[in-house]
Structure 1
Amino acid sequence: MPRWSVSRRSLLIAVGLAAVAVVAAALVIPRGSARPPVDVQLLALNDFHGNLEPPGGSSGKIDGVDAGGVEYLATQLRLLAEQVQRPDTLTVAAGDLIGASPLLSAAFHDEPTIEALGLAGLDLASVGNHEFDEGAGELLRIQNGGCHPVDGCADPAHPYAGAGFQYLSANAFVTASGEPLLPPYAIREVQGVRIGFIGMTLEGTPDIVTQSGVAGLDFGDEAETANRYAAELQEQGVQAIVVLLHEGGTQAGGGGINDCANLTGPIVDIVGGFSDAIDVVVSGHTHQAYNCVLDGRVVTSASSFGRLVTDIDLRVDPSSGDVVEAHARNVVVGRDVAPDAAQKELIGRYRALLGPVAGKEVGETSAPITRTAGPTGESPLGDLIADAQLAATDDEQGAVAAFMNPGGVRADLDAGPVTYEEAFTVQPFGNYVTTLDLTGAQLDCLLEQQFVTERVLQPSAGVRYAVRQAGAPGTAADPCSGTKVDGITIGGVPVDPGATYRITVNSFLAGGGDGFSVFTQATNDVVGGADVDALAAYLGAHRPVAPPPTDRITAG
């Protein structure tokens, strides 16, 4: 990269410290450039998760505005591109476009989402962890096209042709060959300048995806991988480099969609490890909105569900090929613009294919039941799902307790009738209820492991325990050494370390998902029906269902 009389990095860091609202990375244009700079617009999104229709409840708002829906997203992308009045806009994404999707997309293996984003003009996307939910083979089919090997063509009149954009997977390697599963990077030329895009997911993908989803794959360190491919791009004469990374961070409380208030999380250290060759980072995974300058680079995230678009303006010196100026802003995808006609037709077509099952009423709630966690990490909806899974397995399997992972609860339930589609939106992963044996000692170790994974399992109603504030957490190598958990009871009876207990979880947790390796030590596993069916049955049997109190975990 070029050297400046005022160093590029120092100037950008100064901007990052000064900016509170919209963050801009402003650089000095070198003297003596033979041609004027080339302006390039990047439009970026992340964590779309198949939200073709506007998300409901609190998930449908951002920055106080009703937002989202691919009909409005497509229009907003077009309007933002028209503002610059140049044929040089590229649309990119930072992973999790599919997976954990509402029924309208998930029922068709997310083919509708891929088709819709292609129609909206998406050019390039990194893979995210959810792109691996159904395994490497299915991801390749999503990229390349063809009917599903089990379910066939979702719409025989419109056979699935594959993605109209390119997925990139720089740090997801095929174990047998050591080669990336998909291209690690892509180069796009705009007005004679070339821009390189490196696409990656988080290195920890195997810890948060079912083991079948990552079978035959290895995942590399994000910074190391990006630096290696950035050097390769530079060897080809590409100096303007953008990383699309499905990993992110979180602002401190009160930070707005274009702020960078004390950003924390993995993205900070990862970006700190990037070489100077990398100019811009489009991030994701945490479903947060931020607009930062970190270590001299613009680093952005557009929240989730298509509610924001990040508008990034680059200025590239055509002589050196390097980025000399960058600005970014997050723009709300409001529903006050005209819906895109092609997207509207696509939604209507798949809605007709879905049929009446989506609108079938399965139960009722007396009040909103949310996934908002209280001080101890419990949420009303997480506890309710644990109750539903216990109810589905207590008689037939002899289960005495159930636990739900909070990351598997994807939407709130509004007050009133609940349809099957709404229940599916809450639990869209296609997991199965699994009952297994744990000893009392293993159960204690499992609850101690929460303080290693930093995820609080949602317990069913019969479970009680206290968290010692003065206790010490265990380690990743030995979670059982922790002393945070005290007084575990099931049904009012203290848990006996030597006794065996039948415990119900979803199949993701049963396989050690979210880092809960204790479950892989269980015995006598029995796999039951779909987890969403357990929830639907519980809602129907107890209508109207009230939000359960979150008093199962107490502070000791």
Structure 2
Amino acid sequence: MSATSQPKPRRRTYRRLAAAAVGLVTAGALAAALPGTAAAGENHGKPGGHRPGRYQDVQLLSFNDLHGNLEPPSGSSGRVTELQPDGTTKTVDAGGVEYLATHLREARQGHRYSITAAGGDMVGASPLLSGLFHDEPTIEALNKLDLDVTSVGNHEFDEGATELARLQNGGCHPTDGCYTDGGFAGADFPYLAANVLDDTTGKPILKPYWVWRKGGVKIGFIGVTLEGTPGIVSADGVKGLTFKDEVETINKYAKVLQRQGVQSIVALIHEGGYPASSSYNYDCDASGAGGGISGPIVDIARNITPAVDALVTGHTHQAYVCTIPDPAGHPRMVTSAASYGRLYTDTTLTYDRRTGDIVRTAVKSANRVVTRDVPKAADMTCLIGRWNALAAPIGNRPIGYVAADVPHTGTESPMGDLIADAQLTYARTLDPSTDLALMNPGGVRAGLTYAAKGSEGDGVVTYAEGFTVQPFANTVNLQDFTGTQLIQVLKEQVSGTNAAAPRILQPSTGLTYTLDLTRTGEERVVTDTVRLNGAPIDPAATYRVATNSFLAGGGDGFPTLGQGTGDLVGTDDLTALEQYLTANSSPTSPIAPPVANRITIVQ
């Protein structure tokens, strides 16, 4: 085993007590349950017995949106785009926790002052290896990675706040029990949820901030998720919770930290932006500070107090290292490391021991690729093997066959269309009058790959691969809508909360229309082109529509989908996909990917 693949000794054990009855953790309960922060991770010794200098470089390694991807992600989900010196680009295979562990451990070598932080969505929407076990394998892996702290993301609420508290504190799953004889110990690192309040107590459900201390250096971390989480998570997942404004919350706790003598502050924000280039090493500041990125994080960064020295972000699955001016007009580093463990960000924070603050002008940062040309971390290989042995009887079962890759890329994707067709076919077994199906793009987590994985054989789709595509266990719901409502649903793809970042529903076969992206607002949906099986939509007619339960509740910014009538609830969406693949493919007659030409895009 390579020396670089050896895990370093645990720095601490971090455990939290679940709050009474509901299992929620409040800031007050945490303060009473934990030892003093000053003792955690602190080392007052001076290297070589010499007095430390005024300035101390602190390494901050960060990543985000892992989503339980312990094994190397497949297809485009397992590649990054790299900009070459001559202006061309190439793709690099990346990701896999065995490689991530090696890269992080090598990066830490020679850095006595090193912190590892994350920007949320460590779990949720996970492949079967982790998702089948309620993401206990991922928490175990993150412990071995020596993660120091993370913010919560929206997907940390997929199974509700009580389950999130269990991931933090440990204990067997309330319905599925313990998967191993040793039980589940929980996270060794704190989840931070400063802007997520328990409606009963009015306090954060988890600790709002955490302070890293070593050799007299103090750096505070404030963790928040996007305020809009209730609109992109099932209602049950956020029941009894209020999500506050990100900027107001961070500014509030920055003052709290300053009153405690902590002047160096990093915000972990599960909200992000969209860089001008898809290359991870694109110079985001080539057109000036803040000019190379757009999206929600820009306004957030511009309004967060200058007391915060750096922002680690996520949610959009993009890669960027940008400076965005703070309210005082001074550039401030804002980073994101794409998703699925394909990248990590290496940031140098220069700490001024005299002021206790970060020297902002000295901050340097870059995204690094988690390449697969390094030795695998043996402890992670062991972890994956142990959980795979439990998952294999379920995950290796074939459920269908594909003739080629079925990618999930583009405004309309072949994978999205395939799922919509599967849901329409299943819905018609419940009600033959069902007219169409609509699938939200965020509910499609990956495509299907043709190439063999292990010994399964080319073109085989296993249950594990299907689970990776649709891990949420939403049900297929049928509802009635008028033609007017159906047109309004299509307009909501590009208006309201979806105006800035459109969410284009994936349509089943038979539904066609033109999306003109040269227009603005809801006018981008050219309503007189909307057809169902070649016929214009009749505003007064009633249409039977299949969606998943998340959309049927008005999720993802589609309030009209929450107004349907004649509800009929079917099986889970993965079962619908499995039944469709089984019925429509075989080893000698695999299913071909849909062409993805139901929406005509004008750009």
Instruction: State whether residues 291 and 330 of structure 1, in contact with CA within 8 Å, keep that contact through their aligned partners in structure 2.
Output: yes
Does structure 1 residue 192 correspond to structure 2 residue 216? yes
Post-superposition offset of 1:435: 1.1
Q: Which residue of 2 aligns with 1:335?
A: 372
Q: Which residue of 2 aligns with 1:393?
A: 427
Stretch of structure 1 that moved more, 518-527 or 495-504: 495-504
Post-superposition offset of 1:526: 1.5
Equivalent position to 1:278, from 277, 300, 308: 308
Does structure 1 residue 144 correspond to structure 2 residue 169? yes
Stretch of structure 1 that moved more, 542-551 or 266-275: 542-551
Does structure 1 residue 550 correspond to structure 2 residue 550? no
Identify if the C-alpha distance between structure 1 residues 540 and 497 changes in structure 2 by more than 3 Å, giving closer, same or farther. Answer: same
Post-superposition offset of 1:192: 0.4
Q: Distance in 1 between matches of 2:525 and 2:415?
A: 28
Instruction: State whether residues 143 and 166 of structure 1, in contact with CA within 8 Å, keep that contact through their aligned partners in structure 2.
Output: yes
Does structure 1 residue 303 correspond to structure 2 residue 338? yes
Q: Distance in 2 between matches of 1:280 and 1:483?
A: 39
Structure 2 SS opposite 1:538: helix
Post-superposition offset of 1:346: 1.1
Give the alignment of 1:22-421 within 5 angstroms. 35-62=53-80, 63=82, 64-84=91-111, 86=112, 88-155=113-180, 157-253=181-277, 255-257=279-281, 259-260=283-284, 262-295=292-325, 296-324=331-359, 325-373=362-410, 377-398=411-432, 399-415=434-450, 416-421=459-464
Q: Distance in 2 between matches of 1:485 and 1:81?
A: 56
- 5+ residue gaps, structure 2: 1-50, 83-90, 286-291, 326-330, 451-458
Q: Distance in 1 between matches of 2:136 and 2:282?
A: 32
Q: Distance in 2 between matches of 1:181 and 1:517?
A: 28
Post-superposition offset of 1:35: 4.2
Instruction: State whether residues 242 and 281 of structure 1, in contact with CA within 8 Å, keep that contact through their aligned partners in structure 2.
Output: yes
Structure 2 SS opposite 1:41: strand
Residue type matched to 2:600 in 1?
Answer: T
Q: Distance in 1 between matches of 2:278 and 2:100?
A: 26
Post-superposition offset of 1:470: 7.9
Post-superposition offset of 1:492: 2.9
Post-superposition offset of 1:511: 1.1
Post-superposition offset of 1:353: 1.1
Q: After superposition, give the CA deviation of every residue in 1:431-477 in whole Å (9 maximum; x if it has no partner).
A: 11111111212111111111112211111002122346787635xxx
Residue type matched to 2:191 in 1?
Answer: Y
Q: Distance in 2 between matches of 1:486 and 1:381?
A: 27
Q: Distance in 1 between matches of 2:390 and 2:272?
A: 36
Identify if the C-alpha distance between structure 1 residues 482 and 341 changes in structure 2 by more than 3 Å, giving closer, same or farther. Answer: closer
Instruction: State whether residues 513 and 526 of structure 2, in contact with CA within 8 Å, keep that contact through their aligned partners in structure 1.
Output: no
Instruction: State whether residues 278 and 319 of structure 2, in contact with CA within 8 Å, keep that contact through their aligned partners in structure 1.
Output: no
Post-superposition offset of 1:74: 1.1
Post-superposition offset of 1:133: 0.6
Stretch of structure 1 that moved more, 435-444 or 119-128: 435-444
Equivalent position to 1:465, from 492, 509, 513: 513
Q: TM-score, normalised by structure 1?
A: 0.89
Q: TM-score, normalised by structure 2?
A: 0.82
Q: Which residue of 2 aligns with 1:499?
A: 541
Post-superposition offset of 1:551: 2.3
Q: Distance in 2 between matches of 1:400 and 1:364?
A: 26
Structure 2 SS opposite 1:181: coil
Instruction: State whether residues 467 and 486 of structure 1, in contact with CA within 8 Å, keep that contact through their aligned partners in structure 2.
Output: no
Post-superposition offset of 1:355: 3.1
Identify if the C-alpha distance between structure 1 residues 190 and 34 changes in structure 2 by more than 3 Å, giving closer, same or farther. Answer: closer
Q: Distance in 1 between matches of 2:524 and 2:358?
A: 49
Residue type matched to 2:304 in 1?
Answer: F
Give the alignment of 1:422-437 within 5 angstroms. 422-437=465-480
Q: Distance in 2 between matches of 1:214 and 1:531?
A: 21
Structure 2 SS opposite 1:451: coil
Q: Percent identity?
A: 53
Equivalent position to 2:487, from 444, 459, 463: 444
Identify if the C-alpha distance between structure 1 residues 75 and 512 changes in structure 2 by more than 3 Å, giving closer, same or farther. Answer: same
Residue type matched to 2:295 in 1?
Answer: G
Post-superposition offset of 1:491: 2.6
Residue type matched to 2:164 in 1?
Answer: L
Q: Which residue of 1 aligns with 2:32?
A: none
Instruction: State whether residues 257 and 290 of structure 1, in contact with CA within 8 Å, keep that contact through their aligned partners in structure 2.
Output: yes
Q: After superposition, give the CA deviation of every residue in 1:376-406 in whole Å (9 maximum; x if it has no partner).
A: x321111111000001111322321000111
- 5+ residue gaps, structure 1: 1-32, 475-480
Q: Which residue of 1 aligns with 2:36?
A: none
Q: Distance in 2 between matches of 1:469 and 1:99?
A: 32
